[in-house]
């Protein structure tokens, strides 16, 4: 037997070494506890109420700072696919895209909400959730929601008119996540001791044991299959490095069995010791591809995080089915991230790019509050034009100040943490110095227990409060470029000319369709191609925050408000405030953005209209482009960059009541 | 593989070759905001060919020096020259309050007709020449003189005021920089002794100072440690071809009545998108590089953490370009030499903070950028107190703003101390500590970029340690953990530079191409370098 082992051992070791080095390509990361957000101090599934700046001590070795109290923020995770897909233009044309799609938060994305999740939601297994289908279907969630049925009409799933969720599909966890067995080893010998040791089982593996004292170990195959042998079961390791008559001590470990007198099982062809299956980021490839392939969205999945969060964003490159000739990598560029690292900046030239079949988890500590956006940075004139653009915004710490708390005092408190302080004299790039002293108190926001509302920035005076918020992304598609992009021909960049002008991936009149728009892909299944409506519903007398970003790659775009003045409160993810603390917000009726810019606008219906009358439910206003040639859908001389603003009695889940 | 991709790889090969060649020549970075000094400038307008990375030579008109230049700044830049014509024109450097005299000689070909220069923002007294639409013009072979007082500090554009749609397109534009008369320096700056401390850090590594002044304006919030000038313009090669054909035809004409120059400038269809007259990757070659005799200025910014970097950003063509600075925001100080001040306190700045600075034709912006790595939530230097490497165990003593500024000669001068020693990765990674939040994937599923420093860490010491390749590491350990030291990253060597590279580019992404070829156009890589890497702007 020894000889045989000598033959097997090197082979086994080689196999293990290979597995260890190459790991798996697709994988997910969403820890439940980190240095910055230790679970023992903090429930990382919730945004804690603001209680002041985090206090720090040092770690056990005295090497680095760890939080000791007032942990702010939480852990957030999201997974996206990089691949291709189809979208429907305002004239009915189906346009091919290189695109990102959701691989987590599928239900939320389909409902027009950010797909960003807390660890407990993200790490939930599909098999543990109650879904109509036992397995994820190609095209999900559109498939399960019936988007392929004959009765399906555009935008009829999601929230109904009353704001009730009508989705059949409610799963928001990470697609593909499955339990993993990190360690699996064959057993050379398993036996019990005698006398006082008669309940002590010694297991000698055919390889070095990966188990430590206290680890759970699952024994299987020591008798009748499956797992009904005398030793079979899940046990806790009591000792390691055991001297034994067979192999070196580091091949052996022990555990306690309640039954004494079990037979020695030597050289069983079936006996194995494994770790207990658990969630460790391992994914099954089939659901990843069933859901991820041809599932591109425009805009790419919406993301929203809170200041002080740690954000784990996994990009899984599922390949582009329509372009088998390409071996395109993809990346995520978090556009506007201050003091970025080159490593997670997503520029392939300056970092790493993710090959087909691979995943990469981007890691960010949430930057200062503001409206940012993200996009692929591979061959930008191509991948951005083809549709790989999305939105991300960061909500301010101020949202978490308890109702009735002083906003000025909260901002003042954060001046004591060097990371969040804004001293104009020391930091020329900080934008929210203390405003004039005031006694404005925090009101209800989603993050402090309310059902709606929030602040766009840490203003310290409530000046950026809004009741409802809408991300609006401006983009343009050149149908000729997209056609060439679907074929195998060289693309011309100087001739690029947008013919479709998009708000949240839709051109008018699709912009005013509620619910997700679906498009049939070449695989015959329907996919949610444009989940995000562009209707602006404002309760009469309330304020709407428009988080506007432009990722057009060819020209500047103007968006005008026909009726309600636009109050510009932020620009390029920074509060409009001068170094002395003066408010620099301004009123306008149009804004102009180049590709790669963002801006925050508040439409305020709490003030009187220019004629002195109040805004009232039922009124309709328009956002449209005065670049009149952009009010078209290719050959159709009607459509393009336009949407409607509805004044409502109230708004439930974005639906006008 | 598509034809564009074929071109891509060819261009990339060429780009890398160019970078390697540049490195062989000088082993350094090249930048600053070079120009010629006055206050009297003898200029001429003349034709020449400028070259583009697709190999095309483009017939152009531009301003150059008429005789020897009065002087060059920064003085530390050797090999400065000012020829008969360059695109952009010579950067004119003067001091606030000086009386500036510009003598312009028209050496354009006869068919080009008259020419002139406009200096928007100044009260100009022209003399000589002939009356034109907007100012006095120089006829072919003739001259004209413009005199004005450099009234306020800042960056402004100058350009032709004669048949501007054609002449500006042909390359007749440049920049005039007015330095403050009483620049603020040292402890008079709002940020206290930061300038002195940054200068001390530069001095500790033998770095020269290449700035033109200590502050952009007569304002203590405008102090800076490094500066760069970027001029954005685009070219429609058909216009240039047509101009050349017509000029030659008219010059060769022997008939009694010859045609006049009638170059259509519409429809406008630009194919070249340039920064300082060069398209990427040429813009990252040195200033005054001999291969670009008529495009002397580059765009190759480098900086160290914590340095305040003045960006002088100018729109020179006829389109707007959204210039996106990766890495951080830019505080706009002023536009066209007008400082933007707070209404309640004129010392305080009121210009916007932008991550995309839109260039507009004729408009110049001054802005300040910096990078510190604050808030990354891991030690960007990969420090590890358990390491055997002394450089891995440097202390970080936070100043009042949280930065390590006391030891100006340390590699980690200006480190963000709140993240000091804080690990990024869950498993040990070379000689970098474990227990962080992130797990880096198998390097085999990733593709490395040419500017990838090799790890998530800043500086050669950190990068080599993290990849197990530092001196004294066990044989065979190199590259065994995490990212391999990428063999392809010759533009940002893991062993020599390992900076954090950030792409600065037009975000109307179509413009980061050169005549239909990606990559190219309005793009460059900005490098944040660890202090170990000596930034040398002498070329």
DSSP H helical segments within A230-364, as ranges? Answer: 285-292
b/e for B43-73, b at 16 or more Cβ within 10 A?
Answer: bbbbbbebbbbbebebbbbbbbbbeebbebb
pLDDT at B413 over 90: yes
Query: Which residues does chain A have within 8 Å of residue B379's beta carbon, measured at their own beta carbons?
Result: 64
At residue A171, the pLDDT reads: 97
Average model confidence (pLDDT) across chain B: 90
- A242-292, pLDDT tens digit by residue? 999 999 999 999 999 999 999 999 999 999 999 999 998 999 999 999 999
| Residue B218: closest CA among B122, B153, B311 | B153
- B320-339, pLDDT tens digit by residue? 999 999 999 999 999 999 99
Residue A19 belongs to what H/E stretch?
A: helix A2-22
- Residue A251, beta-bridge partner list: none
Q: Do A352 and B448 touch (CB under 8 A)?
A: yes
B200 three-state secondary structure: helix
- B92 to chain A, closest Cα gap in Å: 28
**CA atoms of B349 and A476, how far apart (whole Å):** 36
At residue A96, the pLDDT reads: 96
- B253-286, pLDDT tens digit by residue? 999 999 999 999 999 999 999 999 999 999 999 9
CB atoms within 10 A of CB A384: 27
Average pLDDT over residues A550-578: 97
| Residue A639: closest CA among A625, A654, A621 | A625
Nearest to B508 among A424, A488, A595 (CB): A595
Q: Which residue reads 């008369």 in tokens?
A: B181
- Widest Cα–Cα separation across chain A: 97
Interface probe, candidates A23, A28, A339, A346, chain B, greatest B C-beta count within 10 A: A339
- B439-471, pLDDT tens digit by residue? 988 777 888 899 998 889 999 989 888 877 776
Average pLDDT over residues A477-488: 92
At residue B476, the pLDDT reads: 64
What does pTM read for this prediction? 0.93
In three state form, how does the secondary structure of B123-163 look?
CCEEEECEECCCCEEECCCCEEEEEEECCCCEEEEEECCCC
| Residue A283: closest CA among A154, A125, A159 | A125
Average pLDDT over residues A237-245: 95
- A-B contacts (CB, under 8 Å): 295
Q: Which residue has the higher pLDDT, B207 or B474?
A: B207
Residue B260, token pair as written in the block: 């006049």
At residue B475, the pLDDT reads: 64
Q: Do B3 and A490 touch (CB under 8 A)?
A: yes
Query: Which residues does chain B have within 8 Å of residue A494's beta carbon, measured at their own beta carbons?
Result: 269-271, 510, 513, 515-516
Q: Round to the nearest angstrom and report the end-to-end CA distance of chain A.
A: 78
Q: Do A27 and B320 touch (CB under 8 A)?
A: no
Nearest to A63 among B385, B449, B483 (CB): B385
Q: Do B372 and A339 touch (CB under 8 A)?
A: yes
- B2 to chain A, closest Cα gap in Å: 5
Establish whether the linkage from the previous residue to B52 is cis, with ω within 30° of 0. no
A10 CA to centre of own chain: 42
**CA atoms of A19 and A11, how far apart (whole Å):** 12
At residue B489, the pLDDT reads: 64
Closest-approach residue (CA) in chain B for A481: B510
pLDDT at A89 over 90: yes
Q: Are A313 and A332 in contact (CB under 8 A)?
A: yes
Closest-approach residue (CA) in chain A for B333: A428
Nearest-Å Rg of the Cα atoms of chain B is 25
At residue B429, the pLDDT reads: 77
pLDDT at A9 over 50: no
pLDDT at B2 over 80: no
Between the alpha carbon of residue B419 and those of residues A354, B373, B374, B424, the distances in Å are 27, 9, 8, 10
In B213-329 the beta strands, taken as DSSP E runs, fall at 226-235, 272-275, 302-303, 309-315, 321-325
At residue A225, the pLDDT reads: 81
In B203-303 the beta strands, taken as DSSP E runs, fall at 226-235, 272-275, 302-303
Query: Which residues does chain A have within 8 Å of residue B507's beta carbon, measured at their own beta carbons?
Result: 553, 594-597
pLDDT at A19 over 80: no
Q: Do B326 and A345 touch (CB under 8 A)?
A: yes
- A170 to chain B, closest Cα gap in Å: 29
Average pLDDT over residues B157-174: 98
In three state form, how does the secondary structure of A323-352 look?
CCCCCCCECCEEECCCCCCCCCCCCCCCCE
At residue B428, the pLDDT reads: 78
**CA atoms of A509 and A642, how far apart (whole Å):** 8
- B515 to chain A, closest Cα gap in Å: 7
At residue A11, the pLDDT reads: 38
- A27-77, pLDDT tens digit by residue? 999 999 999 999 999 899 999 999 999 999 999 999 999 999 999 999 999
Q: Are A330 and A378 in contact (CB under 8 A)?
A: yes
**CA atoms of A470 and A647, how far apart (whole Å):** 14
Q: Do B2 and A325 touch (CB under 8 A)?
A: yes
**CA atoms of B436 and B424, how far apart (whole Å):** 4
pLDDT at B11 over 80: no
At residue A4, the pLDDT reads: 43
**CA atoms of A616 and A646, how far apart (whole Å):** 10
Q: Do A335 and B324 touch (CB under 8 A)?
A: yes
Interface probe, candidates A349, A416, A432, A434, chain B, greatest B C-beta count within 10 A: A349
Q: Are B274 and B235 in contact (CB under 8 A)?
A: yes
At residue A7, the pLDDT reads: 40
Nearest to A359 among B400, B441, B453 (CB): B441
Please state which of the ranges A144-153, A476-485, A573-582, B448-457 shows the lowest mean pLDDT.
A144-153
Interface probe, candidates B340, B509, B522, chain A, greatest A C-beta count within 10 A: B509
Q: Do A340 and B331 touch (CB under 8 A)?
A: no
Q: Do B507 and A595 touch (CB under 8 A)?
A: yes
At residue B22, the pLDDT reads: 39
Closest-approach residue (CA) in chain A for B513: A493
- A418 to chain B, closest Cα gap in Å: 6
Assigned CATH topology for domain A422-473+514-656: Immunoglobulin-like (2.60.40)
List chain B domain ranges: 35-179
Interface probe, candidates B345, B445, B512, chain A, greatest A C-beta count within 10 A: B445
pLDDT at B8 over 60: no
Average model confidence (pLDDT) across chain A: 93
Query: Which residues does chain A have within 8 Å of residue B463's beta carbon, measured at their own beta carbons?
Result: none
pLDDT at A6 over 70: no
pLDDT band at B76 (very low <50, low <70, confident <90, very high): confident
A283 three-state secondary structure: strand
Q: Are A610 and A557 in contact (CB under 8 A)?
A: no
- Residue A65, beta-bridge partner list: A58
pLDDT at A175 over 70: yes
- Residue A219, beta-bridge partner list: A233, A273
In B395-472 the beta strands, taken as DSSP E runs, fall at 446-448
Query: Which residues does chain A have within 8 Å of residue B401's beta carbon, measured at their own beta carbons?
Result: 418, 421, 423, 426-427
CB atoms within 10 A of CB A421: 18
Query: Which residues does chain B have within 8 Å of residue A429's beta carbon, measured at their own beta carbons?
Result: 328-331, 353, 368-370
Nearest to B436 among A35, A355, A491 (CB): A35
Q: Which residue reads 């060597």 in tokens?
A: B493
Query: Which CATH code is given to the segment(s) A181-275?
Result: 2.40.30.20
B166 three-state secondary structure: helix
- B95-121, pLDDT tens digit by residue? 999 999 999 999 999 999 999 999 999
List chain A domain ranges: 181-275, 422-473+514-656
Q: Do B452 and A350 touch (CB under 8 A)?
A: yes
Interacting residues of B355 by C-beta distance below 8 A, sequence separation 6+: A335, A336, A572, A573, A596, B324, B325, B328, B329, B330
- A124-166, pLDDT tens digit by residue? 999 999 999 999 999 999 999 998 887 777 777 788 889 999 8
Q: Do A419 and B445 touch (CB under 8 A)?
A: no
pLDDT band at B486 (very low <50, low <70, confident <90, very high): low
Please state which of the ranges A578-587, B60-69, B335-344, B478-487 shows the lowest mean pLDDT.
B478-487
**CA atoms of A41 and A33, how far apart (whole Å):** 10
Nearest to B418 among A65, A347, A424 (CB): A65
**CA atoms of B45 and B171, how far apart (whole Å):** 10
Q: Do B503 and A377 touch (CB under 8 A)?
A: yes
- A368 to chain B, closest Cα gap in Å: 10
Assigned CATH topology for domain B35-179: Immunoglobulin-like (2.60.40)
**CA atoms of A637 and A14, how far apart (whole Å):** 66
pLDDT band at A516 (very low <50, low <70, confident <90, very high): very high
């Amino acid at each position: 037997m020894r000889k045989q082992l000598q033959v097997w051992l090197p082979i086994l070791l080689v196999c293990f070494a290979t597995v260890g080095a190459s790991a798996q390509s697709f994988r997910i990361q969403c820890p439940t506890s980190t240095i910055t957000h230790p679970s023992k101090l903090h429930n990382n599934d919730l945004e804690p109420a603001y209680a002041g700046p985090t206090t720090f001590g040092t770690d056990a070795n005295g090497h680095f700072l760890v939080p000791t109290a007032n942990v702010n923020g939480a852990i957030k995770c999201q997974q996206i696919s990089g691949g291709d897909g189809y979208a429907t233009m305002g004239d009915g044309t189906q346009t091919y895209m290189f695109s990102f799609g959701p691989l987590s938060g599928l239900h939320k994305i389909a409902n027009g909400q950010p797909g960003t999740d807390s660890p407990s939601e993200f790490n939930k297994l599909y098999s543990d959730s109650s879904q109509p289908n036992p397995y994820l279907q190609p095209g999900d969630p559109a498939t399960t929601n019936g988007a392929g049925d004959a009765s399906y009409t555009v935008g009829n799933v999601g929230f109904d008119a009353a704001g009730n969720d009508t989705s059949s599909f409610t799963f928001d966890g990470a697609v593909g996540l499955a339990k993993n067995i990190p360690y699996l080893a064959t057993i050379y010998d398993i036996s019990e001791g005698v006398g006082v040791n008669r309940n002590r089982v010694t297991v000698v593996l055919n390889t070095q044991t990966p188990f430590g004292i206290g680890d759970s170990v699952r024994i299987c195959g020591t008798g009748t299959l499956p797992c009904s042998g005398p030793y079979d079961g899940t046990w806790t390791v009591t000792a390691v490095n055991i001297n034994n008559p067979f192999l070196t001590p580091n091949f052996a470990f022990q555990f306690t069995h309640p039954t004494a007198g079990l037979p020695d099982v030597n050289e069983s062809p079936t006996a194995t010791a494994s770790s207990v299956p658990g969630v460790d980021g391992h994914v099954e490839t089939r659901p990843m591809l069933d859901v991820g392939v041809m599932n591109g969205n425009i805009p790419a999945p919406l993301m929203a995080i809170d200041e002080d969060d740690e954000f784990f964003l996994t990009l899984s490159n599922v390949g582009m089915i329509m372009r088998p000739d390409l071996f395109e990598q993809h990346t995520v560029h978090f556009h506007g991230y201050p003091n970025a690292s080159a490593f997670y900046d997503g520029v392939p030239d300056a970092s790493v790019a993710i090959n087909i079949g691979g995943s990469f988890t981007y890691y960010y500590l949430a930057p200062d509050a503001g409206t940012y956006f993200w996009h692929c940075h591979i061959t930008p004139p191509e991948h951005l034009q083809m549709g790989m653009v999305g939105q991300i915004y960061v909500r301010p710490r101020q949202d978490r100040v308890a109702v009735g708390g002083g906003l000025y005092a909260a901002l003042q408190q954060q001046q004591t943490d060097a990371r969040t302080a804004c001293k104009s004299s020391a930091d020329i790039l900080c934008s929210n110095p203390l405003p004039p002293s005031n006694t404005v108190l925090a009101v209800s926001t989603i993050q402090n227990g309310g059902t709606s509302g929030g602040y766009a920035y840490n203003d310290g005076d409530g000046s950026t409060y809004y009741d409802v918020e809408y991300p609006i992304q401006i983009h343009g598609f050149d149908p000729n470029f997209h056609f060439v992009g679907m074929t195998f021909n060289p693309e011309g960049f100087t001739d690029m000319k947008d013919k479709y002008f998009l708000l949240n991936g839709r051109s008018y009149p699709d912009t005013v369709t509620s619910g997700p728009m679906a498009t049939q892909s070449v695989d015959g299944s329907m996919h949610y191609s444009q989940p995000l409506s562009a209707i602006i519903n404002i309760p009469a007398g309330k304020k709407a925050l428009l988080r506007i970003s432009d990722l057009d790659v060819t020209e500047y775009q103007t968006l005008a408000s026909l009726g309600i003045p636009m109050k510009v409160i932020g620009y390029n993810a920074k509060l409009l405030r001068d170094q002395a603390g003066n408010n620099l917000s301004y009123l306008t009726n149009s804004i102009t953005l180049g590709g790669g810019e963002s801006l925050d606008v508040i439409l305020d219906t709490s003030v009187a209209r220019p004629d002195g009358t109040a805004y009232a439910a039922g009124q309709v206003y328009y956002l449209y482009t005065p670049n009149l040639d952009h009010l078209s859908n290719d050959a159709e001389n009607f459509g393009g960059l336009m949407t409607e603003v509805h004044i409502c009695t109230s708004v439930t889940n974005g639906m006008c009541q | 593989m598509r034809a564009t991709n074929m071109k891509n790889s060819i261009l990339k090969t060429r780009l890398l070759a160019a970078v390697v060649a540049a490195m062989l020549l000088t082993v350094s970075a090249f930048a600053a905001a070079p120009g010629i000094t006055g206050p009297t400038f003898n200029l001429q307008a003349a034709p020449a060919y400028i070259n583009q990375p697709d190999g095309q030579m483009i017939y152009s008109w531009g301003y150059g020096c008429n005789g020897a230049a009065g002087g060059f700044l920064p003085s530390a830049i050797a090999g400065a020259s000012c020829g008969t014509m360059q695109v952009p024109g010579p950067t004119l450097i003067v001091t606030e309050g000086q009386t500036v005299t510009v003598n312009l000689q028209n050496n354009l070909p006869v068919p080009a007709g008259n020419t002139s220069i406009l200096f928007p923002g100044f009260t100009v007294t022209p003399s000589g020449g002939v009356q034109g639409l907007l100012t006095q013009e120089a006829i072919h072979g003739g001259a004209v003189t413009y005199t004005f007082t450099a009234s306020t500090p800042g960056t402004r554009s100058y350009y032709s005021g004669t048949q501007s749609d054609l002449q500006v397109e042909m390359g007749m534009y440049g920049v005039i920089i007015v330095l403050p008369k009483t620049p603020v320096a040292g402890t008079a700056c709002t940020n206290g002794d930061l300038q002195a401390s940054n200068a001390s850090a530069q001095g500790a590594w033998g770095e020269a100072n290449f700035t033109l002044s200590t502050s952009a304006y007569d304002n203590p919030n405008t102090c800076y440690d490094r500066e760069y000038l970027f001029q954005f313009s685009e070219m429609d090669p058909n216009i240039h071809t047509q101009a050349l054909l017509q000029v030659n035809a008219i010059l060769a004409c022997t008939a009694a009545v010859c045609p006049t120059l009638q170059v259509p400038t519409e429809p406008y269809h630009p194919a070249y998108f340039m920064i300082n007259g060069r398209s990427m990757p040429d813009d990252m070659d040195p200033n005054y590089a001999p291969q670009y005799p008529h495009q002397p200025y580059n765009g190759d910014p480098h900086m160290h953490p914590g340095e305040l970097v003045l960006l002088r950003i100018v729109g020179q063509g006829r389109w707007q370009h959204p210039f996106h600075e990766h890495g951080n925001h830019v505080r706009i100080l002023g536009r066209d030499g007008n400082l933007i001040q707070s209404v309640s306190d004129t010392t305080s700045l009121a210009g916007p903070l932008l991550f995309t600075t839109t260039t507009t034709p004729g408009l110049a912006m001054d802005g300040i950028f910096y990078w510190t790595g604050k808030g990354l939530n891991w030690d960007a230097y990969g420090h590890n107190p358990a390491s055997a490497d002394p450089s891995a165990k440097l202390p970080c003593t936070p100043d009042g703003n949280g930065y390590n500024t006391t030891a100006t000669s340390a590699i980690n001068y200006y480190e963000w101390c709140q993240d000091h020693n804080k690990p990024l990765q869950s498993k040990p990674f070379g000689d970098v500590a474990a227990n962080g939040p992130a797990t880096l994937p198998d390097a085999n599923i990733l593709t490395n970029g040419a500017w990838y420093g090799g790890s998530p860490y800043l500086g050669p010491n950190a990068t080599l340690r993290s990849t197990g390749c530092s001196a004294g590491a066990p044989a065979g350990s190199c590259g065994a953990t995490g990212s391999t030291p990428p063999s392809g990253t010759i533009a940002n060597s893991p062993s020599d530079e390992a900076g954090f590279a950030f792409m600065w580019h037009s975000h109307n992404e179509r413009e980061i191409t050169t005549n239909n070829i990606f990559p190219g156009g309005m793009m460059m890589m900005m490098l944040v370098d660890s202090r170990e890497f000596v930034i040398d702007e002498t070329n």
